[in-house]
Amino acid sequence: MDAHAVHAYFTQLQAEIVAALERADGKPFRTDAWQRAEGGGGVTRVTEDGALFERGGVNFSHVMGSALPPSATATRPQLAGQPWQAMGVSLVLHPRNPYCPTVHLNVRFFSAQDTWWFGGGMDLTPFYGFEDDARHFHARCKAALDPFGDDYYPRFKAWCDRYFHLKHRAEPRGIGGVFFDDLAERDFDFSFRLARSVGDAFLPAYLPILERRKATPFGERQRQFQLYRRGRYVEFNLVYDRGTLFGLQSGGRTESILMSMPPQAAWRYDWKPEPGSPEEKLYTDFLRPRDWA
């Protein structure tokens, strides 16, 4: 196990992604370095009110503690009370244009005593669905995993579909992507290379979609639907998201943990889209598991 190499890769990945997003938006990201009292710290890179991004955050954290919180020991009770360290890069981008999808990426590494594992993935949350975008995003996810074995993409795609599901709404958060956790397969080098491949696939998976949709005209109807669907994003992050729960339970930095929240969201009582509308098409054609790749 080489935690120093993981740390170096994660900080490099954060820098490369932020530089690309700054070029796309034309606005620099704010840098907010922070320390955690129990141990460790991180660097939050965030932008708000940009031409392209209404809010975006790319967070690196490396934290440690004396006892793993419940969210990390549910499947490993033998590690309860053990010292630990966790590091990773997590980002969420909320574009201003409703035709540009929200996106999430996370790659992370945990270790406690002699036990270690990687986790992460990326997923796309459109407000208005485009098949070209869905196929492109999933093709990039598949290409990142295919070198490691034919079973990884279908397994991690299905895991993503299960994970990013709002049980209380009986609907998915978006069109998925890939998700994995507790990855400690073969050896450290294999698992680390796989995690790097997922992280490196993010920019080519997302930026072409952003470029295609960023100039699409929109009006108040599209904006209101975007805000309504963002409410689902908030619900998932606060109720189900493992990273959010781990961060809050482990005494993490609240501002950095909640940077994933959209700056504005809305809820409507028992709202239904008009039959035959583009809004209904999101539900009928996109918010269901499909073999996009």
CB atoms under 10 Å from CB of 208, counted, come to: 15
Q: Is 165 a catalytic residue?
A: no
Distance CA 63, CA 84 (A): 8
Residue 171: CB atoms within 10 A of its CB come to 13
Q: Characterize 112-127 residue by residue with b for buried, 16 or more Cβ atoms within 10 angstroms of its Cβ, and e for exposed.
A: beeebbbbbbbbbbbb
Looking at 62, 94, 104, 136, which residue is catalytic? 104
List, as one string, the DSSP characters of 212-252. Answer: HHTT----HHHHHHHHHHHHHHHHHHHHT-HHHHHHHHTT-
Burial 233-242 (b: 16+ CB within 10 A, else e): bebbbeebbb
Find, among 59, 44, 64, the residue nearest to 90 by Cα. Answer: 59
| DSSP for residue 149 | -
**Which residues belong to the active site?**
104
